[in-house]
Structure 1
């Protein structure tokens, strides 16, 4: 198992963050010099620069000034640090918007935006592509071989849609290509005879919006696919420009709430993935926040099956939430090291130094407005950096998972568009609930999408896989036939890739044979109404959705115990080829799927990072592993406010900080310990 470093020339864990020295150029002799000293005191070895610097780098069209970057990159390098250099496309300069209004997005009501905010450029605009290409090539030729530059940070948090004429025409061309320039093929795929919504030619098609056609679900899907494809095409333009003078790896920082972009697709074009994490610690129940954050760490790690970067996180607190609660003592360090536990190779912050004015002046930062090393947050960041130095050898190691959870953007789009059963399908919440079962039992999880290779996993869990095209059906069927164990839930295989219902009964095609069941109808329950299921001599609550399924060969493991479908199957298991397929026909309140999945994990001999104590893990305690095949690194984590003693590690490990060898551990409140052993 070979290590995979973010940059082979700097094989270390990174500790740093977004640095905006251009905001302080008028006092750079004081501020920049203080920053270099404070970076060392905070144990930082990296800074990300240039993200929103376009107006400084090109103050007037065609007039470039790289002097601040020249100076600051050299300073950071001489200070022992490295730089992640951003392309500035996330924030265009005002002169460009004034001279070339086509670079401004058009909203879905047809109004073109004025110069405002950020991330509001048109991805299709030839002018914008030309301008960012010119900028990126200059950056590449000037800094692409500088020893300080460890990676390219392509733009920032891609997202959003544009409805301008350029994008509308590009969308039509996208559809022409997809449907072989055959409008009848598109009409059939969209079931466009519905409500007389047929198209006579591609020129009649408009992007779905508030004032246009948004009732054709296939059209809605294709618009989001186009938005993803157009974003990728723009990103590839950016990457090609930085590649012109550099072979440094490229990344992009995702944010999980960007709904309209398929992050799986974008990640294919990156050398490694980065993401920005802003959990609601202390505002919501702690283990829920911890497991939801872990969910996203594992999701983004899985996209490239290698270490990723935490590109942004808030020291102390953010400033843009409805409640910006301070992290309690030790939570900054625990949150940061959680990243490393899940396979990340960096801890980075937004922001290094607090802005003095404008929107983010009260956003958390390593260096506060006080400008000293004496703040609580600065000391916490310094402590995190100290511990990262001690465990630096973890860099490049990988995560080995035997369980995969299927999370698919296109399935989410289709499911949320579905008008039926019950509003609010809760796809994200459902996937996170299944993930939490494994997180609470210290079982490592990878993520896959509906078109991933599943062969490496002993168990695949596919919650609410509503959309299943022919390829997905074949992949799932072959996985089970070849010996895999598949656990799927209600709403499986109802529509195809253009959101047309599968004929012949649900789930689609071969899946009826794989699972040995067919789904006749679905009972949707009011929020205050609960069904009941009998399983292993216990009763469990059912909520929201109860499918009325029939076994056509599957063994019935649980049955409904309430309502007119009492006695009908609620959980089944079917042997198919060399494997097994389980089907959960209802949504439970969490306790049922925990019981069912723990039984399956036990049968498959899938082990957690540490042994599960009799009666289960204590509240807030979990663990994760990384390895290079020769050394195993164990992270024991405590997300509760109390000290936990006597945690069994299963075998003897050496504490990487104290050097003590033991097979047990003690964790302070909001504590994490890192151990290692030879394997």
Structure 2
């Protein structure tokens, strides 16, 4: 639990007083009180002010800011400022800036421009973290450390090349083992010396993003870059912990950001935090899935919503305003799915550079008489009213959906069978079906304990890592239900094909083998034809993208393809394995099929929806101390009626007791408290 000093849902966000004259600060304090702001994230990009040259450190303004905020009742989320190095550093030490994928050396500018393997960057970033920790370790306003900001981006410089070779030596031990793992006899790529290996950039193996000649080296470079950036984080983390062992440490993640393996990062974060920036047309269920992923990074622990906008972004193609009520609605969506904070970027809108049109609690007009401020103040009052009621509450899902970054990298790098395969979208299809049914699910890693779930779903499990197949077999044998899909079990952790028939190591538990994979053009469809009625599935459904041509090896065939030369071949199978069942979905089905299919599985395992609610109403639950909190989130513009059951429940935001049918206003929220059954 991170909220010991401030036992409520933290409310506030990024604050940059250094961008303003001192005359504005007093007005900020007045408006923070009006809005109920009690946490400010400061010092995110202040390295240049804190260290104007190599030997000088000046924290006078930061001292004043933290003291002033604390006296006014605002606590500090203190960033280490290392997300953007100062100009003097780039001028004096050129190794600090990155080389891009095209081999071009970057100049000073922007952010995400520090090489993670630069000795200079590592030296001064760790030193800065230490200076801050020594100075503020006893400050009463310090709540949590925030290292750097939104880590990301790769580098291809000589320092990274040297670091990559060292990392490979530790991973493989010998060139012989590496050559075998990368299958370098293809195209005469045998390496004779470690110095032969260079990063897979557009100067060597890669082009157009994820296109590569050699998946092995490209996959390992992604692992290495994620590791390198994590190592930078960990160096600062360890320095902070030397001085402040009891202050939690985090850094802000970015949901399904493709470049970093967040399950690995979460092992070194005291609490996960992330920045939520959906577009107006982002499916509500995708945002919910991302919250669930952030909760799942640490096996269900609550997380921090570190950033969201009160009104609009500045960097998307079309930066729509959040309609009235939506900021509050989306804030409670985060809380419903595990957030113990609601923080914004930003508290006061900048007047210059690329974020001057990014929304803020305090708009350019500078006073409280705006729609956005009124909505923020209303939410601030409600969070104060909720107090510590929801803090550290958990979920109790019986379904786990597997997501794996390395599997995503391997799928993205695959040279075929279709450019349309999007791992994240295929995972979302299964999540979305459960979301619409109001059935809870967790997003989990391949390392998660499957034993706590009734159903585990692993869409497009292209890469099967060591031990995963045995883990699945044990889960199913013990009575669990496992689901996987087309393009699964194809390769090992080095992206080498497991021969003997797909799905490779999963073949035994699935009871099928696949001999070919057909890639359909975007306008092509096939059909899933049920052999007989099964619960909520009857007749036929469309499928597309990829079609595995599979044969049963003991699995029962539930449905067959309806057209093309493989008409009549299995497309949906179930295999009894021990006390459980393993289902294989050999193509990408339409939504109605998945809703019926997953409803059948839930019925088999006795998993019931949280409530029956109309379309557009999201239902989520958190549980704490024998009480459960049902969140009814109406994403529709119009009011919706929801049957909540005959038992009496307290509605936390309004204070009244309700039962039976309740009305949720358009874009409104109800939080129902009741004793857990």
TM-score with structure 2 setting the length? 0.96
Kindly state the Cα deviation for residue 252 of structure 1 after the two structures are TM-superposed.
Answer: 0.9
Aligned to 1:472: 468
Segments of structure 1 that go 5 or more residues without pairing to the other structure are: none
Equivalent residues of 1:308, 1:343 under 8 A apart:
yes
Instruction: Confirm or deny: 8 A CA contact 1:441 1:622 kept in the other structure.
Output: no
Distance (Å, rounded) in 1 between the aligned partners of 2:43 and 2:655: 41
CA distance in 1, matches of 2:634, 2:539: 31
The CA distance in 1 between the partners of 2:647 and 2:71, in whole Å, is: 44
> Residue 325 of structure 1 corresponds to which residue in structure 2?
320
After TM superposition, give the deviation of residue 659 of structure 1 in Å. Answer: 2.5
Aligned partner of 1:67 among 48, 60, 73: 60
Does residue 498 of structure 1 match 2:491? no
Deviation at 1:646, TM superposition (A): 4.0
Deviations 1:523-554 (A, max 9, x none): 21111111111123311011111111111111
User: Is this contact kept in 1: 2:476–2:581, CA < 8 A?
Assistant: yes
Residue 660 of structure 1: how far off its partner (Å) = 2.1
Q: How does 1:114-129 map to 2 (within 5 A)?
A: 114-129=107-122
Contact 1:455 1:479 in 2 (8 A): yes
Q: Distance in 1 between matches of 2:627 and 2:597?
A: 33
| In 1: Cα distance, 2:284 partner to 2:67 partner | 38
SS in 2 for 1:317: coil
Counterpart in the other structure of 2:381: 386
Aligned to 1:184: 176
Instruction: Report the CA distance between 1:656 and its aligned residue.
Output: 0.8
472, 481, 489: which one aligns with 1:485 = 481
Q: Is the 8 A contact 1:141 1:244 kept in 2?
A: no
* Cα pair 1:54 1:91 within 8 Å, conserved: yes
Distance 1:257 1:117 in 2: 23
**Equivalent of 1:525, from 517, 520, 526?**
520
Q: Deviations over 1:364-415 (max 9, x none)?
A: 0000111101111011111111221222311111111111111111001111
Q: How does 1:525-604 map to 2 (within 5 A)?
A: 525-535=520-530, 536=533, 537-604=538-605
The answer on 1:88 being equivalent to 2:92 is no
Structure 1: how far apart are the matches of 2:138 and 2:430? Answer: 45
Contact map agreement 2:556 2:573 (CA 8 A) in 1: yes
Using the alignment, how far apart are the partners of 1:312 and 1:296 within structure 2?
A: 14
Match of 1:655 among 648, 651, 655: 651
- Partner of 1:155 in structure 2? 148
- 1:52 correspondence with 2:50: no
CA contact (8 A) 1:11 1:396 kept: no
- Listed as ranges, the matches of 1:97-112 within 5 Å are 97-112=90-105
Q: Does the 8 A contact of 2:420 with 2:545 survive in 1?
A: no
| Structure 2 spans left out of the alignment, 5+ residues | 206-211
* Distance of aligned partners of 1:330 and 1:66 in 2 relative to their CA distance in 1, 3 Å threshold: same
Counterpart selection for 2:222 from 207, 221, 224: 224
Query: 1:582 & 1:646 partners in 2: Cα distance?
Result: 33
Could you say if the C-alpha distance between residues 650 and 63 of structure 1 is closer, same or farther in structure 2, counting changes exceeding 3 Å? Answer: farther
**Native 8 Å contact 1:451 1:471 kept in 2:** no
Higher mean Cα deviation, 14-23 or 589-598?
589-598
Matching residue within 197, 201, 209 for 2:201 = 209
Give the number of aligned pairs. Answer: 660
Q: Give the aligned CA root-mean-square deviation in angstroms.
A: 1.3
**What's the offset of the Cα at 1:165?**
0.9
Rounded Cα–Cα distance in structure 2 between residues aligned with 1:351 and 1:73 = 17
Question: What do the CA deviations read for 1:573-597 (whole angstroms, capped 9, x no partner)?
Answer: 1111121111111111211111101
Question: Matches of 2:120 and 2:114 in 1, distance apart?
Answer: 11
User: Which 4+ stretches in 1 moved above 6 angstroms?
Assistant: none
The counterpart of 1:512, out of the listed 489, 507, 510, is 507
How is 1:407-446 mapped onto 2 (pairs within 5 angstroms)? 407-446=403-442
* 482-491 vs 444-453, greater mean Cα deviation: 444-453
User: After the TM superposition, which residues 249-328 of structure 1 pair with which residues of structure 2 at under 5 Å, given as runs?
Assistant: 249-256=248-255, 258-281=257-280, 284=281, 289-304=283-298, 305-328=300-323
Distance in 1, Cα, partners of 2:214 & 2:415: 11
> Distance in 2 between the 1:577 and 1:345 partners?
41
Decide whether the 8 Å contact of 2:103 with 2:202 is kept in 1: no
TM-score, with normalisation over the residues of structure 1?
0.95
**1:625-672 Cα shifts (integer Å, max 9, x gaps):** 111141111100111111112433564311112222222321111111
Partners in 1 of 2:396 and 2:648 — Cα distance?
Answer: 20
Question: Offset of 1:109 from its aligned partner?
Answer: 2.4
